[in-house]
Each structure stands twice: as structure tokens, then as C-alpha cells.
Amino acid sequence: MKALFVLSIIVPVGLLTSLRLTGILKGPITISETITLSEMDWEFERPEHDMYIDNRLESVYVNDGLSAKFRVVIGTYSANQVVYDGNDIITIGLGLNSTVVNPNSFIESVHVVFRADSQPSKVDFLLTHINFANLSLVDVTSGWTIEEKQKEAYVRLAGLNHPESVFLWATAIWSLQTQSDQTHQREMTYELTYFNGTTYKKIIQPFQLKVAGR
């Protein structure tokens, strides 16, 4: 009976320890430093008609054995889209490449987040357009802003088998639910967490996307 009692403690603890050690079960990580890079701004006046924009914002960060390239591609502006309930639609491409070079370093996770808008709008990710390498998709959700309420849209990915390099491309749709004289402003961030061989660090690259009312 006593042996059973001891086993009932040892077996779960041992299993837990093994899973942790093998990386199958991940515990919470402690981030020793969070570095927020300079914000990149994009501003655009709302056009009256459809417009092919093709603007690219790109930020490169190289430090501490990590190199990362963060991209935002503003695709097209489509006004008064019937199938989107008459909203104006902006397509956005999101790209990330990152590599670590230090011994025992790896990419832990990549998060892409759209925060609140200044006006009512929605953000949707297109699931079949989320392409990635050496990552696994953890969670994806749409977001919106209405009146005082808001919900963030995000894609969360985790590094697969402690990767030294990762790639991500995603497509998002930003639906503006206002007349063209209203200004929308939304922050979008990349959050890249990596292990530099010693500690975990997080790099945040914010993008400020502003669509000015006409």
C-alpha cells in the first residue's frame, strides 16, 4: 500500500520531468529582456476608388546572434465592396524571416497581432494563406473594433523542434466600417521570442498603419 502511494507520486513527477526535459511539454519561459524596435509608420489617404497600392515596409534587426526581417506589404484598397457589406477593404501581406546563429540558440515563437483601431473595423486572417516553415500554428483569430469594445486579431506560432531559422507569410484583410472621411489607425506588431543560448529574449517590431479620411 505504501509502495503504491510512493509510486503514485513518483510516476507522475517522473513523467512530467521527462516530458519537460524532452521538450514535449513546455513550461513557462522567463524572458530576460524585451526589446521594442522603432515603430514603422505607413500613412495613406483613403482613395475614392479601388487602388493598387503595393507599398512595402521592411525592418531588419541584427543583434545578439539573431537576424530578423519584418515585412508588411499593403496590397490593394477596394472601396465599397458589396460582398463585404459595403465596407472598404485593404489587403495586407505579412512576412517574417528570422535566423539565429549562436550555439544552442533557437526561435521560440512568433506572434503577429493587430491591436485596436481608432474606428470600427475588422481584421481577418486567411487561413489557407498562412504559410510558414519550421513553425507550428498555435492559434489564429479575427479581431474587430466597435465603439468602446475591441478584440485583437492575432496569429500565434511556435518554433518547431527548436529551429534556427523560421519563415512566415500571412494574408490579412482589414475592413473599414466607416465612411471615407473617417481616419483609421491601427497598430500591428510582430513579437519574436528567441533563445540566444543563455536566456530568452523578445523582439517587438511595431507598425503603425494609418488610413486618413478624405
Partner 1 sequence: MGKFHIVRAKALTSTLIPILFLSVLLVFPASATSSWSKPRPASTITYDETIGKAESDSIASTEIAVTIGQYSENDPGYGYNDHLSLKISASANTRKGLQYDWFTWSYNWYTVSEPTGITGDDTGVDLTLPFPVLYYGVEYNHVWVCSNGFLSFDSQSTDPVPESIPNTDKPSSTVAAFWRDLNPAAGGSITYGIIDQTPQLFVISWNNIPNKGNGVPQTFQMVIRGRFQTDAYSENDILFQYQSITKDYPAAVGLEDQVGHKGTSYDNNSLYNGLSLKFGCLNAGYRLEELKIKLSKSDGYAMIDFIPNYLGGYNIFLSETTNPYGDFYVSTIAFAAGLALGEVGIIFETLLIMIETAAVLSGNLSEPSLTPHNAGVNENEAWITALTMEEGASLKPFDSTLAATIEWSFTDPNNRDHFLTITSEATYIDINTGEGDTIPTSVTLSMPTNNPPSTPQTPVGVAYGQPNCTYSYSTSTTDPDGDNVRYQFDWGDGTNTTTDWFPSDVTATAYHYWMETGTKYVKARAQDWNTLWSDWSPSLAVAITSGGGGGGGGGPPPRPRGADQ
- Examine residue 109 and tell whether it contacts partner 1 (CB under 8 A): no
- Examine residue 96 and tell whether it contacts partner 1 (CB under 8 A): no
Report the site for partner 1 in 66-95 (rule: CB under 8 A): 73-76, 78, 81-85, 90-93
- Examine residue 107 and tell whether it contacts partner 1 (CB under 8 A): no
Give the contacts of 47 (CB within 8 A, at least 6 positions apart): 77, 79, 214
Using DSSP's 3-state secondary structure scheme, residue 190 falls into strand
**Of 22 and 128, which CB lies nearer to partner 1 in the complex structure?**
128
| 162 strand-pairing partners | none
Closest to 164 in 3D by CA, of 102, 206, 122, 213: 102
CB of 192 to partner 1, least distance (A): 21
**Of 98 and 178, which CB lies nearer to partner 1 in the complex structure?**
178
- Given 3-state DSSP classes, what are the helix, strand and coil percentages for the chain, each rounded to the nearest 5? 15, 60, 25
CB of 150 to partner 1, least distance (A): 8
C-beta neighbour count of 150 within 10 angstroms? 15
Q: Which residue has the cell 469594445?
A: 149
Which residue ranges make up the site for partner 1 (CB under 8 A)? 50, 52-54, 56, 73-76, 78, 81-85, 90-93, 120, 122-124, 126-129, 141-142, 144, 146-147, 149, 151, 169, 171-173, 175, 177
